[in-house]
Amino acid sequence: MKRIRLLVSVALAALALLLAVTFVPWERYPVLQRVLADASRTLSAPLFRLGSVPITPAFLIKAILYVLLLAFIARRSRRLFHNYVLDRLTMEAGHKYALETGIEYVIIIAGLAIGLESAGMNLSSLALVGGALGIGVGFGLQPIVSNFVSGLVILFEGPVKVGDRVEITELNGDVVKIGARSTWVRTNDNIIVIMPNSEFIVKPVINWTATDRQVRFSLSVGVGYGSDPEEVRQILLEVAAGNSDVLEEPGPDVVFTEFGESSLNFDLRYWTVSKMQTPKVLKSDLYFAIFQAFKERGIEIPFPQRDLHLRSAAGSLRIDTTNTPPR
């Protein structure tokens, strides 16, 4: 809305100036006529040349207005394309975002080319601008160019899309925006982390939802050596089946992992869609239910045990055989 108000204000000011120049009888006001003539000469005085085209203040003002108008048209076209075309297609949100962003870039590039041609500028003369840009890149614009190219790769290759759950350099969150320079990731704490696009190209990225939103998690449980492993497996499967966030297909399973020092260790593996973004919450719910089920069935959750062998000791030792619970 701010951009629209700015464009409307600039358009109204330009229209008012045009009407004033056209209809005001300047011959009656010689002072204003001289001021207008001086302003016209100033605006028409070339500052420098780009190829065969003189760059004047008037040219720069027209160029700025043209770029603002082009940006408005590109953004408006993107919204229309989204509302009237993409919303009627069965596509993933990330692919829709990539398409509408590509449409916006195409309109801007085509508009700039048309504007330069209309201004009488030979596009081959832009080799000078390319050379200047190359010098700028050499003097410190490499990160900007790298992030821009990486953004194009992300949008059109699609390794990461808007709506994906990603994990990169200990950051875990949802991709909410892919821009020309950076990508916005929202964490579970509702914090937006702005990552340079090049990070998603040069570093390993875990995309939890690259193909679908089904994700498998696991939790570890240890029980006493006096427990029946088959009964433990049955309890774990019953707890998983009783949780509405655990998928029935593919179903959960239990793996007997090892004979530990103090316990028999199991892994409960389960699939989820609804809690894909908050796995710790689902794991906590399952642990609460497992603790209650073990308590009701008399399954012991052991504490670490050690056998102590004394080879030598100074003085006499007193042995207390009273069975007291550990603190």
Q: For residue 41, how many other CB atoms are within 10 A of its CB?
A: 9
pLDDT at 316 over 70: no
Q: Nearest 5°: phi and psi at 30?
A: -60, -35
CA distance 74 to 110: 10
Give a yes or no: residue 104 inside a domain.
yes
Please state whether the peptide bond connecting residue 250 to the residue before it is cis, i.e. omega within 30 degrees of 0: yes
Do 26 and 90 fall within a single domain? yes
How many angstroms separate the Cα of 292 from the Cα of each of 266, 281, 304, 311?
17, 17, 21, 43
Q: For residue 150, how many other CB atoms are within 10 A of its CB?
A: 21
Task: Give the domain-ending residue among 207, 223, 240.
Answer: 207
Read off the tokens for 113.
């080319």
Residue given tokens 């020092």 in the structure block: 261
Give a yes or no: residue 315 inside a domain.
no
Residues sharing a CB contact under 8 Å with residue 132, sequence separation 6 or more, in sequence order: none
Domain of residue 137: give its range: 2-143
CATH code of 176's domain: 2.30.30.60
Report the greatest alpha carbon distance in the chain.
123
Lowest mean pLDDT among 5-9, 45-49, 124-128: 124-128
Read off the tokens for 251.
């179903």
Look at residue 327 in the predicted model and tell me its pLDDT.
Answer: 45
Look at residue 148 in the predicted model and tell me its pLDDT.
Answer: 81
Stretch (H or E) spanning 165: strand 165-168
DSSP character string of 237-249: HHHHHT-TTS-SS
How many angstroms separate the Cα of 140 from the Cα of each of 56, 121, 200?
29, 28, 21
Give a yes or no: residue 72 inside a domain.
yes
Q: Average of pLDDT values for 278-282?
A: 93
CA distance 171 to 203: 12
Q: Average of pLDDT values for 182-190?
A: 92
pLDDT at 136 over 80: no
- Residue pair 286/239 in contact by the 8 Å Cβ criterion: yes
Mean pLDDT of the chain: 81
Do 13 and 57 fall within a single domain? yes
Total domain count for the chain? 3
CA distance 93 to 176: 10
How many angstroms separate the Cα of 66 from the Cα of each of 21, 63, 113?
21, 5, 12
Look at residue 80 in the predicted model and tell me its pLDDT.
Answer: 86
Lowest mean pLDDT among 48-62, 226-240, 249-263: 48-62
pLDDT at 79 over 80: yes
pLDDT tens per residue across span 87-128: 777 776 666 777 788 788 888 888 888 887 777 666 665 555
Give a yes or no: residue 249 inside a domain.
yes
Give helix 57-84 / helix 93-118 axis angle, nearest 10°: 150
The separation between the first and the last C-alpha atoms of the chain, rounded to the nearest angstrom, is 65
Do 100 and 120 fall within a single domain? yes
Do 183 and 293 fall within a single domain? no
